[in-house]
Amino acid sequence: MENLCHTLAGAVLARAGLDRTTPLATATLLVASNMPDIDVFSLWWGDLAYLEHHRGVTHSLAGLLIEAPVLAGAVLAFDRLVRRPRKPDAPPARFGRLAVVALAGLFVHLLLDWTNNYGVRPLVPFDSAWWYGDLVFIVDPWMWLLLGGALFVGARRKWTANIGWGLVFAAMSAAVAFSLAMPSQESGGPGAVAIWFALLSAVLTIRARWREIPALGAARLAIVAVVSYWCVLGIANAAALKAVQAGQEEPAALTVASPTLMRPDRWRVLSVRESEVRSSQVYLGRESIPLTAYRRNLDDPRVRAALRTCPGSVALAFNRVLYAEPRIAQDGTEEVALRDARFSRVPGGSDFATTVVALDPTGAPATDDRPCRRGIWPW
């Protein structure tokens, strides 16, 4: 998930009662809810290093057990060196409780990232297998409303809070409205956008009319609502898979149903066979529309050679629905594009997770000088 959702989730955890465990619990949760994404710094070593290390050790259970005490120690140091000298009468923060609170925020980050089709590797460094929830699109405005709405209706009624929430909701609204400019197969569509703004209006009305809403109860209700939402999406995912599998003449080796923006009734389903990947759009209760077929080309000697390179090994480890496109580069040389159908829309493109291996005139992989280091860390 993106970091707005992670931050809102951390704030809801705090409001749901964890803020009462120790001083600085809320600050700890807000940092912990985003801390695993420090792996974004792997971009310093290039796109290939990012593809290999994003959602790696910092998103693993072993990593969480290291990050929690590190964060708790940093917060405790702030408490003793900054906060307590300024407020000598304030109760001190407790390391043990800070570590537990941090672990809760870190684990929820891992859980949220599992829910989408990018996946997580929770057993790194012992096992690099990916786990996928395939429930929630990477950006989910419905969860923004559930989490942000609960925080807003229970927030203190100060002008500074109102300005802050006004900016947050303005940013959310702009993102939702901008989605209408996306291609129709990827946009939530006018209906979904209209429902979202109607629900936002309802949140604002509740805040205006009911002045005494328990923040604790609102936050806990939001947690129940989010889990219920995931359960509904799980049922919808199974229905989308069943709809496609029922129409197949022969079973596919792998069938993946990916969520789409703001549309629990619409799923992009990939049917993976040895020679091709078929993509279709499923509208629950209505129809299934074939979209694109991707030739996998995995038996092509150039592709097999490309997969033996260091960039190829990274693509092979990451790409859940791998296919390859031997093609001519802009400079006239040959290359092999290793792609993942989860993130592809049209053949010949260069979407996220596209790894290109250049070929020499003989069709063998050319020398590649991009950073590519195997292991837990990118350096």
Asked if 25 and 19 touch (Cβ cutoff 8 Å), the reply is yes
Structural domain spans, the chain:
1-133, 137-295, 297-379
84 burial level (CB within 10 Å; 0-12, 13-18, 19+): middle
Spatial separation of the C-alpha atoms in residues 56 and 108, rounded to whole Å: 16
DSSP code at position 186: T
146: left (phi over 0), alpha (psi -120 to 50) or beta: alpha
Phi/psi at 277 (5° precision):
-120, 125
Spatial separation of the C-alpha atoms in residues 169 and 183, rounded to whole Å: 24
> pLDDT tens digits for 92-129?
999 999 999 999 999 999 999 999 999 999 999 999 99
73 burial level (CB within 10 Å; 0-12, 13-18, 19+): middle
> pLDDT tens digits for 17-26?
999 999 999 9
332 burial level (CB within 10 Å; 0-12, 13-18, 19+): exposed
Looking at the DSSP bridge assignments, the partners of residue 269 are 257, 280
Q: What is the pLDDT of residue 12?
A: 98
For residue 60, give both structure tokens.
Answer: 């693993």
Q: What is the pLDDT of residue 54?
A: 92
Q: What is the pLDDT of residue 375?
A: 59
Q: What is the pLDDT of residue 371?
A: 46
Number of H helices, E strands in the chain: 12, 7
Candidates 292, 279, 282, 272; CA nearest to 240 is 282
Q: What is the pLDDT of residue 198?
A: 98
- Please list the pLDDT of the chain residue by residue as tens digits (379 residues): 999 999 999 999 999 999 999 999 999 999 999 999 999 999 888 888 899 999 999 999 999 999 999 999 999 999 999 999 999 999 999 999 999 999 999 999 999 999 999 999 999 999 999 999 999 999 999 999 999 999 999 988 888 888 999 999 999 999 999 999 988 888 999 999 999 999 999 999 999 888 788 999 999 999 999 999 999 999 999 999 999 988 777 888 999 999 999 999 999 999 999 999 999 999 998 878 888 999 999 999 999 999 989 899 999 999 999 999 998 887 788 899 999 999 988 777 778 889 999 888 877 887 654 445 555 555 4
Q: CB 155: neighbour CB atoms within 10 A? A: 18
Q: What is the pLDDT of residue 365?
A: 84
pTM of structure: 0.93
Candidates 44, 11, 48; CA nearest to 28 is 11
